[in-house]
Structure 1
């Protein structure tokens, strides 16, 4: 009986953790629709998820923290723009990400752009708010920096 209770507790606990995890969209069209509907800017995370040390560090120190999760749910729509070297990726996502890299002139990783999508004649344009990358000092410093970008040009 104790084993069943323990297993039940573990299953419920893992479901609670999954419910708190953030949704990082990889499809820009879907993310844009959410951003337009919620009137939140896009947070575009340009990363090399399986090879970029600073990207992995940013993920672990900031993007996977409860503090960032709370902030992101209130303020932005998350988009991962990944350039993996070892992990497979769908060709349409590769093409989309390459176009975004050119549009936002990303030259290094990690780079995070905050942008407002705007629909004009069935075409989506992006109003670039500002960019950042790795910020030392943990999630509170990173969030402080992101809030400055959002309030200064948002």
Structure 2
């Protein structure tokens, strides 16, 4: 009987732990480290501006430094179309939920800077006009203003 109870409890806890979304995890991490959340909606294999955004800004060392320096927690909500880039059903549902909440118009690329509470601080529709240094500088400046 104890073994059955233990097995049931382990199953319940593993489902609960697995059910935590990237946004919930990002909010928790951002709150703990006084970081911001950068949420990017992209079509990684069909949206030319999305591909350029990732190549020229989000995929650069300067951008990755924002993550390693605890400035942001980055979430990419991707909507690929090619079979070879297919996402898991769980990730598809999570991305769709994020889109329902933050990108109901279906803009690609669409980038949102949020605080740990989920409040929108800044949005970028389409490919940002600035280069990576200006883009990351703007994020750092917004973060500085958020500090108590």
**Quick one: distance in 2 between partners of 1:147 and 1:39?**
12
TM-score for the superposition, normalised by structure 1: 0.67
Q: 2:124 is matched with which residue?
A: 132
> Greater relative contact order (Cα 8 A, min sep 6): structure 1 or 2?
2
Q: Which whole-Å CA distance do the structure 1 matches of 2:74 and 2:80 have between them?
A: 18
Give 5+ residue unaligned stretches, structure 2.
Answer: 1-20
**Following TM superposition, by how much is the alpha carbon of 1:53 offset from its aligned partner in structure 2, in angstroms?**
0.7
1:141 pairs with 2:141: no
Structure 1 residues not aligned, in runs of 5+: 1-25, 119-125
Give the alignment of 1:58-73 within 5 angstroms. Answer: 58-73=53-68
**CA separation in 2, counterparts of 1:152 and 1:105?**
25
RMSD over equivalenced CA pairs, Å: 2.3
Of residues 89, 112, 115 in structure 1, which corresponds to 2:87? 89
Contact 1:27 1:93 in 2 (8 A): no
Q: TM-score, normalised by structure 2?
A: 0.70
Q: Which residue of 1 is the match for residue 100 of structure 2? A: 102
Q: Does 1:51 align with 2:46?
A: yes
